[in-house]
Structure 1
């Protein structure tokens, strides 16, 4: 399952859509914001902190959307799927991540709805869509709606656009009324403390709120 195409059958990398979709979603294109920064992290092996209370992602997942029906209503949401069935550990002597056995039991699957959903296509397309309120947690009993992930596992964020179909038979067309996207450079390993010091340095250098998380998390320094 190392190939995301196997684990993400409904998704299309870089905004290329699958066929047989409703006209309201068939032309939708999604552009990942800050791709160069994401690629910098990806080259080092992106790590995202998970905490019991929930931690925001950095880089923040942000996209520009085009090709929507300006008058139609859409719901935007995200989820996170395991990239493979492995658990990882960080080898400090080689500064690399190594598979360390089979994955833990998959954490409860959740969807994060963008707080402005639903909204018309014109509103979504006029500005950058930011998932800056999304938080990651390793608390399996979380009741705050945060995304539950297993530490030391690799995840692929997915972004979904759902057309709010007003027709009476909308349920029967549900599979036609959405489209999904993923960007390989946004995959990451969930951690409770950064393992690669170069990731720590890049986060501090590129995060405008770095001072806040340096003082609250000594391991981030």
Structure 2
């Protein structure tokens, strides 16, 4: 899955000054994800390790001069580096058994407004995996 930063392409100076923002990136297990620009499809119960790629835009002269070079992309970009973002690997899941995780997800999901007023009503003590 690839999420293209909406401000891309930009020079390195821009990214160094403003940083990279993934707030618009959405991860889903819905097969309709490909229809939406910011949606990335994941398979449930799979391990994912986010990374970012830095590419250099090639000049027309560089593309022409290195046309036969295997490393030169036909798109006019060359991969400069690929980096894992420490501490961001995750397993995708479809349901949470831990009531504390459920509360955190409801409190931090901007689309869960309807649950915010109700989540105190839920009795998580009988839910599977709720230990004492």
Compute the TM-score of the two structures, normalised by the length of structure 2.
0.63
Structure-1 residue corresponding to 2:51 = 158
Deviates more, 1:159-168 or 1:186-195: 186-195
Compute the TM-score of the two structures, normalised by the length of structure 1.
0.40
RMSD: 3.0
- Pick closer, same or farther for the CA change 1:200–1:128 going to 2, 3 Å: farther
SS at match of 2:27: strand
Larger Rg: 2
CA distance in 2, matches of 1:144, 1:151: 19
Structure-1 residue corresponding to 2:92 = 190
Structure with greater strand share of residues: 1
- Pick closer, same or farther for the CA change 1:193–1:213 going to 2, 3 Å: farther
Would the aligned equivalents of 1:164 and 1:177 in 2 still touch at CA under 8 Å? no
Q: Does 1:174 align with 2:65?
A: no
Which stretches in structure 2 are left out of the alignment for 5+ residues? 120-132
In the TM superposition, residue 179 of structure 1 has moved relative to its aligned partner by: 0.7
Would the aligned equivalents of 1:165 and 1:177 in 2 still touch at CA under 8 Å? no
Aligned length: 107
Alignment of 1:124-139 (within 5 A): 124-139=15-30
| Structure with greater contact order relative to length (CA < 8 Å, sep ≥ 6) | 1
